[in-house]
């Protein structure tokens, strides 16, 4: 195996024996085979589209690609069997598409991704030969993988939107055409750089689509105090990102005597008006995703993973038998909840188990405030602008992105804690767990930590920046008093970065380490063109 798609990759180079995330070498090779299958399908669909041939069951094809990509995101799915099923399904789908091409007399490239056939006993061996290192030229590989990882982030956001009935064909066509270009064409460096930026542009559109889906379904997030304590009733803990899963779980637990708590990236669900009518929706339990091994033991009730953020439990963990997965997520031995033809899921088994569980152990108490997505901040715009004009607010610091296990991430806590009292943090994603429980106070009633929501809600931070640019009649967002201090871990953070670059945002600082998949030459391009820099260039102010 070889994998370097996440921030914690071994030695800052790449995982070659076992993933730091917990995936085994055979699973990694099967994931590479899944991407091989996606590339083959994408080559055929793009050739059909370029020949103006209507693709049969196009939505089924598009959904397959999106789901396969989402499942390969770091910490999303550790179940080898589900990937073998995906590959078999994908190869059959590719053959159906090839039959359409033959019927329409559309010529297809003579590529391994298009012509290879084999059964499931060969998938792992084949996967060993079709992974990241198949591309020998370092800079080409770096640019391709930068686009691929950004596309994985896009796929995650599209799948959430599709679950709510929202979709954009342009995004699917781009993803499949991008894989076609990276597989069937020998693109020069300049075109690969252009593809990276186009990936960022499509990331903005994907985040806008999901924002529309979430807000039209559940209302605009609003300022909300979220409880951190527990009640004396059994509970179900829901983690991940998918709000439709949250909605269905709340509906099915209403009146059962079971409480529902969020964990990790599901915290922002509390900000949506539609969920506030459920009096058994109690609060947020615990902290960031990487602390789940200790926190899940103390929760006692069923745990539902809706997307990525799974940490493989210890062998003696007591909560493994209470773990459930759904959507693109998966873990060996855990019950997976599938949706029916109408997208509905049956969570009754979780409810029944919860009824016989102990109440959650309270691990903290108090509350935190969030809900500062773009619509809410726009309502505060006059107050914010006035605070800037009077000098009460001197600087905004965008600290969006991911959290992780490395001790070096304590930098973000220290950085936030020592910010001058006239600076405000704009955040989204689980990176906020490094500082959202600090008592940083407010500036004239404006909290110094404005949490927009999940990682995909980084779109709100873009809109807020554009609104401020307009309010101050500036030519560029780069003229605003904004510092970008982004923490990354997995591929959804990559698309946030590419989205910002595509919008012309410069001088972004990222950490706690630079991506291993960015080669020295590609890094030089990003530094020269966009002023990209390590987070260590932003020292902690301890005056």
Domain C-terminal end among 323, 354, 385: 354
Domain C-terminal end among 111, 134, 157: 134
The string of DSSP letters for 429-467 reads SGGGGGTTTS---EETTEESEEE--SGGGHHHHHHHHHH
Whether 388 and 528 map to the same domain: the answer is yes
How far apart are the C-alpha atoms of 278 and 530, rounded to whole Å? 46
Give 181-190 contacts, CB < 8 A, sequence gap 24+.
Answer: 182/39, 182/144, 182/147, 182/148, 183/39, 183/42, 183/43, 183/111, 183/113, 184/43, 184/109, 184/111, 189/139, 189/140, 189/143
| Residue indicated by tokens 């599938």 | 338
Contact between 377 and 398 (Cβ < 8 Å):
no
Whether 347 and 380 map to the same domain: the answer is no
How far apart are the C-alpha atoms of 481 and 462, rounded to whole Å? 14
Within-domain flag for 143:
no
Whether 469 and 340 map to the same domain: the answer is no
Within-domain flag for 498:
yes
Q: How far apart are the first and last CA of the chain?
A: 47
Give 465-468 contacts, CB < 8 A, sequence gap 24+.
Answer: 465/398, 465/505, 467/374, 467/377, 467/378, 467/381, 468/384, 468/385, 468/388, 468/396
CA 532 vs. chain centroid, Å, equals 21
Within-domain flag for 406:
yes
Whether 415 and 339 map to the same domain: the answer is no
Backbone angles phi, psi at 393, to 5 degrees: -110, 120
Structure confidence at residue 470 (pLDDT): 93
Within-domain flag for 338:
yes
The string of DSSP letters for 222-269 reads --EEEE-S--SS-EEEEESS-HHHHHHHHHHHTTTT-EEEE-GGGGGG
How far apart are the C-alpha atoms of 287 and 249, rounded to whole Å? 21
How far apart are the C-alpha atoms of 182 and 174, rounded to whole Å? 12
Print pLDDT tens along the chain (543 aa): 999 999 999 999 999 999 999 999 999 999 999 999 999 999 999 999 999 999 999 999 999 999 999 999 999 999 999 999 999 999 999 999 999 999 999 999 999 999 999 999 999 999 999 999 999 999 999 999 999 999 999 999 999 999 999 999 999 999 999 999 999 999 999 999 999 999 999 999 999 999 999 999 999 999 999 999 999 999 999 999 999 999 999 999 999 999 999 999 999 999 999 999 999 999 999 999 999 999 999 999 999 999 999 999 999 999 999 999 999 999 999 999 999 999 999 999 999 999 999 999 999 999 999 999 999 999 999 999 999 999 999 999 999 999 999 999 999 999 999 999 999 999 999 999 999 999 999 999 999 999 999 998 999 999 999 999 999 999 999 999 999 999 999 999 999 999 999 999 999 999 999 999 999 999 999 999 999 999 999 999 876
Structure confidence at residue 542 (pLDDT): 78
Whether 122 and 254 map to the same domain: the answer is no
Element (H, E) at 282: strand 281-284
Whether 398 and 531 map to the same domain: the answer is yes
Contact between 259 and 231 (Cβ < 8 Å):
yes
What b/e string do you get for 19-47 counting C-beta neighbours within 10 Å, with b at 16 or more? bbbebebebbbbbbbbbbbbbbbbbbbbb
| Residue indicated by tokens 């910490």 | 75
Structure confidence at residue 543 (pLDDT): 67
Whether 434 and 511 map to the same domain: the answer is yes
Pairing of strands 482-487, 508-511: parallel
Within-domain flag for 212:
no
Q: What angle do CA 370, 373, 378 make, to 5 degrees?
A: 120
Within-domain flag for 365:
no
* Residues comprising the chain, all counted: 543
Whether 347 and 298 map to the same domain: the answer is yes
Q: How far is CA 341 from CA 57, 338, 344, in A?
A: 15, 10, 7
| Residue indicated by tokens 């009633």 | 445
Angle between helices 491-502 and 189-218 (to 10 degrees): 100
Q: Which domain holds residue 53?
A: 1-134
Whether 230 and 341 map to the same domain: the answer is yes
Within-domain flag for 57:
yes
Determine what percent of the chain falls in helix, strand and coil, rounding each to the nearest 5.
50, 10, 35
3-state secondary structure 109-178: CCCHHHHCCCCHHHHHHHHCCCCHHHCCCHHHHHHHHHHHHHHHHHHHHHHHHHHCCCCCHHHHHHHHHH
Q: How far is CA 102 from CA 52, 98, 105, in A?
A: 14, 6, 5
CATH number at residue 318: 3.40.50.2030
| Residue indicated by tokens 């929501």 | 453
Whether 319 and 425 map to the same domain: the answer is no
| Residue indicated by tokens 């429980």 | 437
Whether 533 and 400 map to the same domain: the answer is yes
Domain C-terminal end among 97, 113, 134: 134
The string of DSSP letters for 136-153 reads -SHHHHHHHHHHHHHHHH
From 366, 365, 380, select the one nearest 222 (Cα to Cα). Answer: 380
Within-domain flag for 306:
yes
Q: Which two tokens stand for residue 198?
A: 């186009």
Number of domains into which the chain is organized: 3
Q: How far is CA 349 from CA 272, 337, 408, in A?
A: 26, 10, 40
CATH number at residue 113: 1.20.1270.20
């Amino acid at each position: 195996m070889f994998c370097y798609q996440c921030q914690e990759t071994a030695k800052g180079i790449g995982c070659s024996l076992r993933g730091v995330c917990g995936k085994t070498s055979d699973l990694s090779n099967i994931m590479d085979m899944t991407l091989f299958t996606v590339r083959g399908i994408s080559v055929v669909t793009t050739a059909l589209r370029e020949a103006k041939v209507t693709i049969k069951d196009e939505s089924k094809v598009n959904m397959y690609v999106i789901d396969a990509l989402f499942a390969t995101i770091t910490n999303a799915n550790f179940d080898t069997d589900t990937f073998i099923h995906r590959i078999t399904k994908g190869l059959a789908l590719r053959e159906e598409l090839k039959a359409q091409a033959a019927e329409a007399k559309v010529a297809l490239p003579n590529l391994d991704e298009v012509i290879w056939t084999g059964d499931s006993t060969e998938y792992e061996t084949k996967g060993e030969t079709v992974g990241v290192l198949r591309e020998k030229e370092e800079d080409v590989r770096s640019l391709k993988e930068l686009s691929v990882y950004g596309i994985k982030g896009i796929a995650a956001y599209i799948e959430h939107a599709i679950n709510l009935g929202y979709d954009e064909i342009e995004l699917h066509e781009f993803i499949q055409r991008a894989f076609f270009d990276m597989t069937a064409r020998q693109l020069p460096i300049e075109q690969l750089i252009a593809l990276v930026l186009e990936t960022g542009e499509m990331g903005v559109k994907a985040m806008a689509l999901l924002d529309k889906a979430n807000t039209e379904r559940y209302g605009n997030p609003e300022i909300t105090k979220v409880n951190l304590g527990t009640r004396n009733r059994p509970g179900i803990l829901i983690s991940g990102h998918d709000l439709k899963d949250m909605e269905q779980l709340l509906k099915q637990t209403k009146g059962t005597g079971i409480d529902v708590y969020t964990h990790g990236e599901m915290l922002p669900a509390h900000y949506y008006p539609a969920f506030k009518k459920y009096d058994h929706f109690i609060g947020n339990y615990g902290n960031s995703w990487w602390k789940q091994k200790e926190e899940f033991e103390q929760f006692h009730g069923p745990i539902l993973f809706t997307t990525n953020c799974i940490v493989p439990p210890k062998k003696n963990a007591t909560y493994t038998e209470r773990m459930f997965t759904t959507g693109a997520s998966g873990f060996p031995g855990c019950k997976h909840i599938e949706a029916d033809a109408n997208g509905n899921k049956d969570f009754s088994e979780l409810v029944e188990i919860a009824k016989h569980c102990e109440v959650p152990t309270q691990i903290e108490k108090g509350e935190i405030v969030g809900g500062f997505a773009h619509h809410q901040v726009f309502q505060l715009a006059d107050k914010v602008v006035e605070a800037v004009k009077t000098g009460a607010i001197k600087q905004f610091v965008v600290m969006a992105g991911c959290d992780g296990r490395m001790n070096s991430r304590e930098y973000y806590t220290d950085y936030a804690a020592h910010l001058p009292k006239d600076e405000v943090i704009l955040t989204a994603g689980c990176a906020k767990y490094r500082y959202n429980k600090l008592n940083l106070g407010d500036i004239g009633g404006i909290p110094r930590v404005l949490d927009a929501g999940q990682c995909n809600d980084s779109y709100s931070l873009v809109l807020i920046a554009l609104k401020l640019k307009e309010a101050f009649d500036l030519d560029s967002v780069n003229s605003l008093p904004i510092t970008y201090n982004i923490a990354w871990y997995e591929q959804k953070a990559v698309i946030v970065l590419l989205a910002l670059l595509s919008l012309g945002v410069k001088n972004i600082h990222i950490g706690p380490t630079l991506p291993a998949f960015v080669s020295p030459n590609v890094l030089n391009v990003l530094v020269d063109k966009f002023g990209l820099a390590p987070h260590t260039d932003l020292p902690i102010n301890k005056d």
